[in-house]
């Protein structure tokens, strides 16, 4: 006594036929050659289903460069194919999931890591067949993010950007009376998660404290009041505005410059001020706990300030006098100064505190040896450079062109001999102002006209 058992073998166009007989309460299996006839009859009456594509290229973990071209064999019953690419073989959250009528698919943007891919056929009824067994490839390429992953729309005129220490969020401020918000964007979803109303907007540098609890920038409103805005990264609200009082009745008049510098312990903030009521520039020092200004130094038209990583030196640039200053942050006194190019703007200090990179308005980038306090070299990126950022390994310097859609990339592994690598062009970008990298350098977030451009390797 027994029964016939038909079953389709997974991912293969074949049927296993078994005759199971009961012998002493157990099941035994046997196969006879003449049962092939029964298999043929099974296919005739039941059909063989939608076939499974064969992955042709790339396979076997081979290295490929961007763009990646996936190819597979055609299936007779297929009208379309579903293609999935993921970083794991689970395919629970594919980085690519598309349907195409072709047996070829090109991917322009992927990170330089290993990927797995698979394909299944879709018949005219919209039914999907079995996926192919996954295969793999490794994307090779440059070691910095240069490929456009996506664009995130933000209203108004975004200006400055920073990333939280855990890399979970990017924060963006704006300039303009029609958009009085600071935007918060998730780096996981690349979606805006919060719009924080603020009293004072600003086209000035936004920085997040090292503990990740606060965001700061100099905000201005109709030139009637100004100061350093403090925002909470947990409640997503404006907490207060730090400023000094001027006029009758007294209002918080400043600082109103571009640059700010925070100590790692977040106990002091140094803020640039391009001008005060007497048309003098200055640098103000605030005690964060009390929110009061405790010291200042008057200097002409200070645009940017930056602390070295040891926090023993404060650096500043004067756009009016074309000067680069070294300042004792404790005493707030000038220790050295150096004449640089026309209209110095942004200061960037290397992590070893040996060099300062200084961008200029329509001029070259100067590199200053901070030990000898002399210019060691300069280079012309051929753009109206503004925002600058090192990749985390400090091998490359990215320069934003404030007047066009370029981001220039320089090899600065030897800071005394920077060399141009390439200009990244994004035709729809309009104008870039600033950018920031995540901790491992796999992503760059660049501020453009109305958008945040997300770049990957």
Report pLDDT for 257.
82
User: In CATH, what number is assigned to the domain containing residue 116?
Assistant: 2.60.40.10
Check if the beta carbon of residue 362 is closer than 8 Å to that of residue 341: no
The residues facing 5 across adjacent strands are: 18
382 shares a domain with 365: yes
The backbone region for 403, taken as left when phi is positive above 0, alpha when psi lies in -120 to 50, beta otherwise, is: alpha
253 shares a domain with 132: no
Report pLDDT for 280.
65
102 shares a domain with 32: no
Domain boundary (81, 106, 140) is at 140
* Whole-number Å distance between alpha carbons of 223 and 10: 71
232 shares a domain with 277: yes
Domain boundary (84, 105, 140) is at 140
Query: Which residues neighbour 357 within 8 Å (Cβ) at sequence distance 6 or greater?
Result: 347, 348, 349, 350, 365, 366, 367, 388, 397, 412, 415
Q: What is the mean pLDDT of each run of 10 residues along the chain (457 residues)?
A: 43 45 44 48 48 96 90 95 96 94 88 92 94 94 84 88 97 80 95 93 90 92 75 97 71 76 97 70 93 92 95 95 97 97 94 96 90 96 80 94 84 93 88 93 92 91
Report pLDDT for 385.
63
299 shares a domain with 340: yes
Check if the beta carbon of residue 184 is closer than 8 Å to that of residue 174: no
* Whole-number Å distance between alpha carbons of 68 and 297: 56
Domain boundary (140, 158, 183) is at 140
User: In CATH, what number is assigned to the domain containing residue 425?
Assistant: 2.130.10.10
Using only C-alpha atoms, the chain has a radius of gyration, in whole angstroms, of: 30
Positive or negative: CA dihedral 248, 201, 444, 403? negative
- State which residues form the domain around 28: 2-46
Residue 95: Cβ within 10 Å count: 14
164 shares a domain with 136: no
The backbone region for 106, taken as left when phi is positive above 0, alpha when psi lies in -120 to 50, beta otherwise, is: beta
220 shares a domain with 107: no
123 shares a domain with 167: no
177 shares a domain with 276: yes
| CA nearest neighbour of 424 among 412, 416, 435 | 435
The CA angle 47-53-55, to the nearest 5 degrees, is: 160
C-alpha separations of 118 from 9, 52, 65, 103, 269 in Å: 18, 10, 19, 12, 53
* Whole-number Å distance between alpha carbons of 49 and 71: 22
327 shares a domain with 220: yes
Check if the beta carbon of residue 161 is closer than 8 Å to that of residue 172: yes
Residue 68: Cβ within 10 Å count: 20
132 shares a domain with 273: no
Our count of domains for the chain comes to: 3
Report pLDDT for 8.
43
399 shares a domain with 333: yes
| CA nearest neighbour of 324 among 381, 387, 370 | 370
């Amino acid at each position: 006594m027994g029964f016939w058992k038909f079953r389709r073998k997974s991912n293969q166009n074949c049927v296993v036929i078994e005759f199971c007989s009961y012998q002493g309460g157990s099941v035994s299996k046997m196969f006879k050659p003449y049962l092939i006839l029964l298999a043929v009859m099974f296919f005739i009456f039941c059909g063989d289903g939608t076939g499974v594509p064969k992955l042709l290229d790339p396979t076997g973990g081979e290295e490929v460069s961007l763009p990646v071209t996936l190819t597979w064999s055609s299936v007779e019953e297929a009208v379309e194919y579903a293609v999935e690419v993921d970083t794991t073989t689970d395919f629970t959250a594919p980085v690519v999931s598309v349907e195409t009528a072709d047996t070829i698919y090109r991917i322009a943007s992927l990170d330089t890591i290993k990927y797995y891919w698979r394909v299944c056929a879709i018949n005219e009824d919209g039914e999907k067949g079995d996926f192919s067994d996954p295969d793999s490839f490794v994307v090779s390429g440059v070691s910095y993010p240069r490929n456009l992953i996506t664009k995130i729309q933000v209203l108004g005129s975004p200006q400055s950007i920073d990333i939280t220490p855990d890399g979970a969020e990017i924060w963006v401020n704006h300039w303009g009376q029609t958009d009085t918000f600071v935007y918060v964007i998730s780096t996981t979803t690349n979606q805006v998660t919060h719009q924080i109303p603020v009293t004072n907007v600003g086209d000035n540098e936004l920085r997040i404290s090292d503990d990740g609890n606060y965001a700061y920038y100099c905000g201005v409103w109709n030139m009637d009041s100004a100061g350093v805005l403090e925002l909470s990264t947990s409640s997503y609200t404006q907490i207060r505005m730090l400023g000094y009082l001027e006029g009758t009745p007294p209002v918080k008049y400043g600082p109103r410059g571009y640059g700010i510098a925070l100590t790692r312990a977040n106990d002091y903030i140094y803020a640039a001020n391009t001008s005060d009521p007497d048309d003098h520039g200055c640098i103000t020092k605030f005690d964060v706990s009390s929110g009061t200004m405790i010291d200042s130094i008057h200097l002409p038209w200070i645009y940017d300030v930056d602390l070295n990583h040891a926090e023993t030196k404060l650096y500043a640039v004067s756009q009016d006098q074309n000067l680069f200053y070294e300042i004792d942050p404790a005493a707030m006194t000038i220790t050295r100064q150096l004449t640089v190019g026309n209209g110095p703007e942004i200061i960037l200090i290397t992590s070893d505190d040996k060099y300062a990179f200084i961008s200029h308005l329509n001029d070259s980038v100067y590199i200053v040896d901070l030990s000898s306090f002399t210019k060691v070299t300069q280079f012309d990126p051929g753009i109206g450079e503004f925002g600058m950022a090192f990749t985390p390994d400090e091998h490359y310097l990215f320069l934003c062109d404030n007047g066009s859609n370029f981001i220039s990339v320089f090899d600065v592994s030897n800071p005394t001999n920077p060399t141009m690598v390439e200009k990244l062009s994004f035709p729809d970008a309009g104008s870039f102002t600033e950018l920031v990298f995540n901790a491992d350098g796999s992503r760059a977030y660049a501020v453009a006209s109305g958008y945040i451009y997300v770049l990957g390797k």
